[in-house]
Structure 1
């Protein structure tokens, strides 16, 4: 049953670990499927043309290890490796692909409901020297919501990975276009982008903001838009037509920021690098604030 965190301004829908989305990519703990501000939707979906939406992302889903999952290179084909927040995945070839469907042995999950917040705990098995406990707390406040993470390395080997929230965002279900403005706290240097996909040239890159001269029918993607430099982990998206904005601020510095989108969705992604020695832990927070724009 979908859990709803709600006050007079905000409404957050959270699917429980074993509900609905059951693919091997995104973290199953605290799957935020929908966010509403004063009854206006702020969330979207990865694809509008899919037959089974439970295989794809939506809302504010997050992922650990987009490029390679934990322990993937330590096992032979046919062995099992970790996808943090999901469970064990079965290796079927020597190249990890986050969008591939893997056989899954789900981790152990526990859900604790409290007033205005939900805590979900994910406990893994110890496989190939790797194991962990992940705790994620989602809490709603007057005009913002927070996602607090705690990751403890219970295994013998170091945990080296990263985490980001995909942020499948659209305001009032408006198509992406000239009414949107996306701002960053750092200068955008296109010559330092690792990858640029802007086939229709509908995306305009400014000094520290991204705008649109039309609604893109094709997917767009820009990687490493911070140029690999350490910067404040933040972005702000404004819809001028509806007079509503949403921002994300991380409690960490980031060296990697990506941007993906399509005609129905825009996804700024702030990556958090993770390195945890055995028996150590790390904690971080993402704060999303929603506001009116005059």
Structure 2
């Protein structure tokens, strides 16, 4: 009996050592550190083999797992299970585009997600962001890094007539606690590009649980388009929490915004840690939603994108980080 236990213990130790060595042998995802003396950030870099995010939902560029200002951290790993090809195994102010050509494509044909590539359409009733679509053409990627910024370029050409050159620059403003994300989408194909893009944000301020310490404020009176979740309250221009979320995630659509970029102005603050962020754009909202889980807050502001052949569409997002008195 003693010998059997000894063999079992030896086997367990061997397996544990093998797993540890295997995990240790996995290459770290490519990344870059940027800073301006006020804000420091880490950015994961796109890579089809070793990139941190290789899912088919979000733009692969500009994934930020950490950003710090005055000892406060604004982004992080909000999910418990990580798989690089998971649809939402991603962090930071990441963006998703609605599809190009999905409705026209037959089963087995292809469609496009900007920032991801050309995907094959399976037999399904409608597009579903959780579907692990086959990546048929990832396009070409390049980047340029400086001390305070990383510029990403993704070019794609498809037989359907869709083609683009997409440039995204993530930079820190000199002398300010500010992150700026600049976008330039040039239509190099023969078909008009019409999409909507939203920033999921995935705010995780100081790893505080989503609850009454947080407020989310807009410059206009909010009107929920869905039934108000019992964990949330909407009063005038503000979203608050009635309680901590209990393992659930909640979503609601919102309206009330106007036609100018002035309404793309969101403040998220935590009264306990005294950290806040203001999110703005130079483009108006086309749609607005709010999604939250126990570990993150996600205002989801949408922008309508349109570029005719040979034309380009640009937009900028600005994040100002601050502390409360």
Asked if these proteins are the same fold (TM beyond 0.5), I'd say yes
Q: Deviations over 1:103-129 (max 9, x none)?
A: 113121001112311110000022311
Question: 2:136 aligned with 1:90, yes or no?
Answer: no
SS at match of 1:187: coil
Specify the alignment match of 2:269 in structure 1: 238
Specify the alignment match of 2:196 in structure 1: 162
Which sections of structure 1, spanning at least 5 residues, go unmatched?
none
Aligned counterparts of 2:265 and 2:159: Cα–Cα separation in 1: 35
Q: Which has the larger radius of gyration?
A: 2
- Aligned with residue 255 of structure 1, among 252, 262, 286: 286
Equivalent residues of 2:188, 2:309 under 8 A apart: yes
SS at match of 2:284: strand
Equivalent residues of 1:3, 1:13 under 8 A apart: yes
Specify the alignment match of 1:123 in structure 2: 155
Equivalent residues of 1:111, 1:119 under 8 A apart: yes
Specify the alignment match of 1:173 in structure 2: 207
- Aligned with residue 110 of structure 2, among 73, 80, 84: 80
Which sections of structure 2, spanning at least 5 residues, go unmatched?
1-29
Equivalent positions of 1:46-85 (< 5 A) are: 47-48=79-80, 50-52=81-83, 55=86, 56-65=89-98, 69-85=99-115
Question: 2:223 aligned with 1:189, yes or no?
Answer: yes
Equivalent residues of 2:153, 2:166 under 8 A apart: yes
Name whichever structure is richer in helix by fraction.
Answer: 2
- Aligned with residue 3 of structure 1, among 24, 28, 32: 32
Q: CA deviation at 1:240?
A: 0.7
Name whichever structure is richer in strand by fraction.
Answer: 1
Equivalent residues of 2:64, 2:75 under 8 A apart: no
SS at match of 1:172: helix
- Aligned with residue 27 of structure 1, among 56, 59, 81: 59
Q: CA deviation at 1:228?
A: 6.4
SS at match of 1:288: strand
Aligned counterparts of 1:45 and 1:222: Cα–Cα separation in 2: 23
Equivalent residues of 1:44, 1:265 under 8 A apart: no
Specify the alignment match of 2:177 in structure 1: 143
Specify the alignment match of 1:208 in structure 2: 237
SS at match of 1:74: coil
